[in-house]
Amino acid sequence: MHEMSLALSIVEQTREAATREGAVRILEVEIEVGCLAGVLADSLQFCLEAVGKDDGLADTIFRITEVGATGNCRVCAATFPADSFLVLCPSCASDDVSLNGGRELKIRSLTIED
Amino acid sequence: MCDSCGCDDGSGVTITRLVPGLADHHHHHQHHKFRTITLETEVLAKNDALAARNREYLRRRKILALNLVSSPGSGKTTILERTIRDLRGELAMAVIEGDQQTRRDAERISATGAEVVQVNTGAGCHLDSQMVARAIEQLELHDDSLLFIENVGNLVCPAMFDLGEAAKVVIISVTEGEDKPQKYPHMFRAATLCLINKTDLLPYLRFDVTACREMAAQVNPDLEFIELSAVSGEGVGRWYDWLRQHREGLNT
């Protein structure tokens, strides 16, 4: 249940940034979660709403965008989209695949009211 | 993406919850009452920054720190007890023990004579870099030594949290299912070395070591394996050689 730790961290960093910007209200927080980041988007959403409610962000929209990864076959050099650690190269069926991206876990942006 | 049913064009999924009354908030951007600021900050930025500080501190003192991760009951503490008893004449070793409750593991380590700190996480399911920083402050660490960080027994959450270690060592015991690497891929992906423990029990079990290694290699082609039994001692020499080699690697 590390999503709760992540939700607390997101809300804390959101509030710090909003204070720095002199915001009176946070309308939306845009969050990017890679498909290989080890984070369940639904669970994070649930935790963000629960934490947000207790921290004065009950009306804030937490928008989670999931992003994919790219597989690179180390046998035939093919490049293809991947969404799990268990991928076979679609060209040569090798399982010797290196993965790039998909580990993103970022607060992309805030929409605030001045 | 289709707004009606959420079907996707393959470019990634967006799930949006609209709060009643705020559905048209984008409209307000034109009046400059609302603005969007770009942050692009890592959610785990604070953990990662503190982990980087831990790593730098350990590197300067030539301390090889290993983050030991596994499900509960794989034999992490037994491996450490044996390792400390077998290598204590050769290497200085200290341990940070992570558990939700009790000091039992720290007491077992303490009985070997090694420096040990117990971190109790309460409800927490993993160690983080701040807990490790605080534990390091309390330990009397030697330069040119080993620091074992025994994480909370959990194959999920500890994969995400960098503690400042040089490497993660994942332990699987042969009393578990050989398909664990595929069920918990994040941990096996994050690890550098996999110890397959309790091999003395193999004659009584149907655990297929080769199948386990193949399944782990599919998740992480670079993963190294050592099969051992912390009870009988078979295979522990290869683990000790791995430790020596990685500790010496800090000098280069």
CATH number at residue B126: 3.40.50.300
Q: B39, B48, B189: which to substitute to probe chain A, counting the most A Cβ within 10 Å?
A: B39
- pLDDT recorded at residue A54: 85
Instruction: State the total domains in chain B.
Output: 1
Instruction: Flag if B160 and A2 touch (Cβ within 8 Å).
Output: yes
Does B19 reside within a domain?
Answer: no
Does B128 reside within a domain?
Answer: yes
Domain that holds residue B232: 45-251
Does A39 reside within a domain?
Answer: yes
For the stretch B38-64, pLDDT in tens is: 999 999 999 999 999 999 999 999 999
Does B84 reside within a domain?
Answer: yes
CA separation for the pair A67, B119 (Å, rounded): 35
CA separation for the pair A54, A51 (Å, rounded): 5
CA separation for the pair B52, A16 (Å, rounded): 22
CA separation for the pair B169, A44 (Å, rounded): 27
Chain B stretch 131-190, residues whose beta carbon is closer than 8 A to a beta carbon of chain A: 156-157, 159-161, 182, 185-186, 189
- pLDDT recorded at residue B24: 47
**pLDDT average, residue stretch B103-113:** 95
The answer to whether B216 and B186 are in contact (CB under 8 A) is no
Tokens linked to A61:
């929209």
Does A85 reside within a domain?
Answer: no
For the stretch B144-170, pLDDT in tens is: 999 999 999 999 989 999 999 999 999
Does B24 reside within a domain?
Answer: no
Does B201 reside within a domain?
Answer: yes
Instruction: State the total domains in chain A.
Output: 1
Q: Which of B25, B126, B161 sits opposite A27 (nearest CB)?
A: B25
Does A36 reside within a domain?
Answer: yes
Instruction: Flag if B182 and A74 touch (Cβ within 8 Å).
Output: no
- Average pLDDT of every residue of chain A: 93
- pLDDT recorded at residue B29: 47
- In the predicted model, is pLDDT for residue B18 greater than 70? no
- The percent of residues above 70 in pLDDT, for chain B, comes to 87
Domain that holds residue A50: 2-68+101-113
